C-alpha cells in the first residue's frame, strides 16, 4: 500500500473510537485530523434497560445492533449481563460479535459477510421466527428495519436503548482553516448521522469547499445520503473496518 505522503484526512469517528484509524493514517505518512461529528453517550434513564435484563428469560433471541450497544448495556448493568440460559445471542457484524466475545459471551449468530440489519435478516436462523420473542439492544433513534422485518415475520419484538447519539461540542476552527486553505484532502464517515452532523458543525460559507472533498463512507446507504447532501466525490469502503477505510482513502488519493 502506498504512503499517504502528507495528505490530510478528516476522521469523524466518535472520540473514543478514532484512535485506531488515526494511527493507521499516520503510519502511512498522512495527517489524521480529528473532528468527531458524533458522540456516543449513555441513555439518561436506564430503567428500561435494567427491566429488560431482569426479564431476559422470556426471550428466544437477544440481538445487539453495535459494539456500542454491547458496551453501554454492560456499563448500565455494572459490567454484567445476567445468565442467558436458553437465550440466543446475535450480532449485526463482526465488531459487535467481538465486543460480546471480549465480554465473555458466546455469539450464536453473526453474518459471515456484511455488517447491517439486512445481512443479519438474511440469516437462515431468522427466517422462521413466528411466535418467538426478540429483544433488540440499540441506540436511541436508530433504524427500524430490523425490528419491523422481524415483526413482519411474526416475532414479538421489544427494543431497548443503551446509548444515544449527540452532536459533540468541539472546536471546529482548525478544520475551517484547512478548508479555507484547501489543505484537507479526504473525509472519512462511518454513519449517515455523522455526515449530517458534520454539515451542521461546519459553517455554511465553508460548505462549497467541504462538498468538493472526497468522502469515504462504509456503505451504499451512506453513499446515497452523501450524494443527496451534495458531495461531489464519494468512495465506498469494502468494510467498516479501519483497515478497509484506510485502503479506500489510499486508493482515492493516491490512485493505487
Structural domains of the chain sorted by starting position, each given as residue range(s) with its CATH number in brackets = 8-38+168-254 (3.40.50.10090), 42-165 (3.40.50.10090)
Q: Which residues contact 93 (CB under 8 A, 6 or more apart)?
A: 66, 110, 111, 114, 115, 116, 119, 240
Average pLDDT, the chain: 91
Amino acid 178: pLDDT: 97
Average pLDDT over residues 226-250: 94
pLDDT band at 177 (very low <50, low <70, confident <90, very high): very high
The answer on pLDDT for 1 being more than 50 is no
CA distance 174 to 166: 21
Q: What is the pLDDT of residues 5-39, one digit of tens each?
A: 889 999 999 988 899 999 999 999 999 999 999 99
Helices 19-27 + 242-254 axis angle, to 10: 40
Between residues 212 and 1, which one has the greater pLDDT? 212
- The predicted model gives 202-221 an average pLDDT of 96
Taking the CA atoms of 54, 55, 60 and 63 in sequence, report the sign of the dihedral they define: negative
Q: Can you tell me the mean pLDDT for 198-209?
A: 96
For 72-129, what is each residue's pLDDT tens digit?
Answer: 998 887 777 666 668 999 999 888 999 999 988 889 999 877 667 888 999 999 999 9
Contact assessment for residue 126 and residue 150, using Cβ atoms and an 8 Å cutoff: yes
pLDDT at 256: 57
Residue 227 C-alpha from the chain's centroid: 19
**pLDDT tens digits along 211-220:** 999 999 999 9
Segment of 75-79, 165-169, 229-233 carrying the highest mean pLDDT? 229-233
Q: Max CA-CA distance within the chain?
A: 59
Which strands, in side-by-side order, build the sheet including 31-34? Answer: 31-34, 8-11, 186-188, 215-217, 234-236
Burial tier of 241 (Cβ tally within 10 Å: 0-12, 13-18, 19+): middle
pLDDT digits (tens, 9 = 90+) for 49-70: 888 888 888 999 999 999 899 9
Amino acid at each position: 500500500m502506498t504512503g499517504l505522503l502528507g495528505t490530510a484526512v478528516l476522521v469523524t469517528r466518535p472520540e473514543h473510537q478514532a484512535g485506531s484509524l488515526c494511527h493507521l493514517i499516520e503510519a502511512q505518512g498522512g495527517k489524521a485530523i480529528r473532528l468527531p461529528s458524533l458522540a456516543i453517550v449513555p441513555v439518561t434513564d436506564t430503567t428500561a434497560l435494567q427491566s429488560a435484563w431482569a426479564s431476559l428469560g422470556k426471550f428466544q433471541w437477544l440481538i445487539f445492533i453495535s459494539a456500542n450497544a454491547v458496551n453501554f448495556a454492560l456499563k448500565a448493568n455494572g459490567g454484567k449481563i445476567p445468565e442467558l440460559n436458553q437465550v440466543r445471542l446475535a450480532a449485526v457484524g463482526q465488531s459487535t460479535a467481538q465486543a460480546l466475545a471480549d465480554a465473555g459471551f458466546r455469539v450464536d449468530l453473526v453474518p459471515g459477510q456484511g455488517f447491517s440489519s439486512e445481512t443479519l435478516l438474511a440469516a437462515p436462523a431468522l427466517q422462521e421466527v413466528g411466535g418467538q420473542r426478540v429483544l433488540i439492544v440499540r441506540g436511541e433513534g436508530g433504524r427500524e428495519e430490523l425490528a419491523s422485518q422481524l415483526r413482519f415475520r411474526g416475532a414479538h419484538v421489544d427494543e431497548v436503548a443503551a446509548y444515544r447519539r449527540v452532536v459533540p461540542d468541539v472546536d471546529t476552527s482548525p478544520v475551517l482553516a484547512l478548508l479555507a486553505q484547501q489543505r484537507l484532502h479526504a473525509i472519512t464517515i462511518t454513519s449517515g448521522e455523522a455526515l449530517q452532523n458534520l454539515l451542521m458543525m461546519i459553517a455554511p460559507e465553508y460548505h462549497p469547499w467541504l462538498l468538493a472533498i472526497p468522502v469515504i463512507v462504509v456503505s451504499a446507504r451512506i453513499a446515497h445520503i452523501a450524494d443527496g447532501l451534495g458531495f461531489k466525490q464519494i468512495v465506498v469502503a469494502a468494510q467498516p473496518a479501519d483497515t478497509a477505510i484506510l485502503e479506500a482513502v489510499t486508493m482515492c488519493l493516491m490512485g493505487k
